[in-house]
A and B are shown apart, each in its own frame.
Chain A
Amino acid sequence: MHPVRKQRLILILVLVALSSAAVGFVTYAMRENMDYFYAPSAFAAGEVPFEKRIRAGGCVVPGSVQRAGNSLDVQFVITDGEAELAVVFDKILPDLFAEGEAAVISGQLMQSGIMRADQVLAKHDENYTPPEVAESMVSQKGCTDGAKI
């Protein structure tokens, strides 16, 4: 390769490397703000501020969803396999919200340690299966694999 071209190639590689490093440092410095939500274990560790608008994400523990008889009020527990977080909500849940599935909750952590949600989003997993195949795998449903968020 011609030396002038080689020099330009090296300059370009340095440019890409330096800009990548710069962006890498910025994202590293902001790593706590890069997550869209806190996991329940962050709540247990006391990393989450009280009475500030925050988001939590986790797998809805099977059997934990309790609906009030005469209103939309619902309470449930989410987990990341290490810790659990109780959530109360008073609006309509999304269609894909289900026990054993992940959900992302916006709201405030109250002093009691319960999260009062003002929005609940269903987090879809990366699995795509036809209904017949899914029926044969029902036994796998649950929050066992911890990292299901």
Chain B
Amino acid sequence: MAWQWFHRLGSPRWFYQKTSGWLPWLALVSIVLLAAGTVWGLGFAPEDAKQGNSYRIIFIHVPAAFLALAGYYIMAISGAIGLIWKMKLSFAVMRAAAPIGAVLTFISLFTGAVWGKPTWGTYWVWDARITSMLILLFLYIGVMALSQAVSREQVADKASALLALVGTVNIPIIYKSVDWWFTLHQPATIRLTESSSIDPSMFYPLLIMIIGFYCLYAWTLLTHTRTLLLRREIRTQWAQQELAGEN
């Protein structure tokens, strides 16, 4: 059957054993990329003509914001797959993605505020981009809270998946807010369809940081999902064996 691979993916045991070999590689690649990107971006990239050195926050701010948005889709789509196929693994991915996304959203809001003070002259304004980003943080926290609030795991899974799915409407709003409305936040610098308005000497370290953040995200998400799976399946034989083997 065409769907067989998909159903096998839903087996927590299969997933747990399959991914254990990936973790060291993901860890290695993300640490190397993040170290290289940080040293290049902070030490060797030229300073900006107008902002001076304060622009260097872009090397954390932009990758964190990228992953905060992409991670929301990962969380919502996992929730949808869980609802449609009743897949335990998928709900575990959804639960694991929520705190990681919340941290990334907080990082982008915090670094933005730190950068905003010297650049704009204020830490915070209620423009469309920044406010919709704050709503994203609340959505992540909402999914986290809802998944903990109900003691019956299956009910909690369904409720949080529905909240995550309803919240997806916020993602295109965040992304397009700087184009649709007048905001204090500037429009996108990196564009897929037209040339980016950033000098190549600054773009390459930024690109390395973005790829590094993607690897870091995958690493963290897998690690957290595996922990959640073990906790859910603690009574099964395979989980007991894995725990015994690791200690």
Give B residues with C-beta under 8 Å from A.
3, 46-51, 55, 58, 80, 83-85, 118-122, 125-128, 162, 165-166, 168-170, 173, 180-184, 186-189, 197-199, 201-202
Given A5-B85, A15-B165, A19-B169, the answer on whether A128 and B189 have CB atoms closer than 8 Å is: yes
The residue in chain B whose Cβ has the minimal distance to the Cβ of A38 is B182
Least CB distance from B12 to A in Å reads 20
Q: A77 at interface (Cβ–Cβ under 8 A)?
A: no
Give A residues with C-beta under 8 Å from B.
1, 5, 8-9, 12, 15-16, 19-20, 23-24, 27, 34-39, 57, 94-98, 101, 104, 119-135, 149
Question: Given the complex, which residues of B lie within 8 Å of A95, measured CB to CB?
Answer: 118, 121
In the bound assembly, the distance between CA atoms of A1 and B123 in angstroms comes to 51
Least CB distance from B211 to A in Å reads 19
Instruction: List 12 additional A-B contacts (Cβ < 8 Å) besides A36-B181, A39-B182, A95-B121.
Output: A1-B3, A8-B84, A12-B80, A16-B166, A35-B128, A37-B184, A95-B118, A101-B50, A122-B119, A123-B186, A124-B186, A134-B49
B169 and A131 contacting across the interface, CB-CB below 8 Å: no
A15 and B125 contacting across the interface, CB-CB below 8 Å: no
B121 and A120 contacting across the interface, CB-CB below 8 Å: yes
Task: Identify which of B46, B125, B166 contacts A19 (C-beta below 8 A).
Answer: B166
Given A12-B80, A133-B49, A134-B50, the answer on whether A57 and B119 have CB atoms closer than 8 Å is: no
The residue in chain B whose Cβ has the minimal distance to the Cβ of A24 is B169
Task: Identify which of B58, B125, B181 contacts A128 (C-beta below 8 A).
Answer: B58
In the bound assembly, the distance between CA atoms of A122 and B168 in angstroms comes to 32
The residue in chain B whose Cβ has the minimal distance to the Cβ of A23 is B169
Question: Given the complex, which residues of B lie within 8 Å of A16, measured CB to CB?
Answer: 165-166, 168-169
Given A16-B166, A129-B49, the answer on whether A121 and B184 have CB atoms closer than 8 Å is: yes
In the bound assembly, the distance between CA atoms of A86 and B173 in angstroms comes to 33
A-B contact pairs, 29 of them (CB 8 A): A9-B84, A12-B80, A12-B84, A16-B169, A19-B165, A20-B169, A27-B173, A34-B128, A35-B128, A36-B127, A36-B183, A36-B184, A39-B182, A57-B184, A104-B120, A104-B184, A119-B121, A122-B121, A123-B120, A124-B50, A126-B187, A126-B188, A126-B189, A128-B199, A129-B199, A130-B47, A132-B46, A133-B199, A134-B50
In the bound assembly, the distance between CA atoms of A88 and B187 in angstroms comes to 27
In the bound assembly, the distance between CA atoms of A12 and B198 in angstroms comes to 39
In the bound assembly, the distance between CA atoms of A129 and B47 in angstroms comes to 8
In the bound assembly, the distance between CA atoms of A16 and B128 in angstroms comes to 22
In the bound assembly, the distance between CA atoms of A130 and B50 in angstroms comes to 9
Question: Given the complex, which residues of A lie within 8 Å of B58, measured CB to CB?
Answer: 128
Question: Given the complex, which residues of A lie within 8 Å of B180, measured CB to CB?
Answer: 34
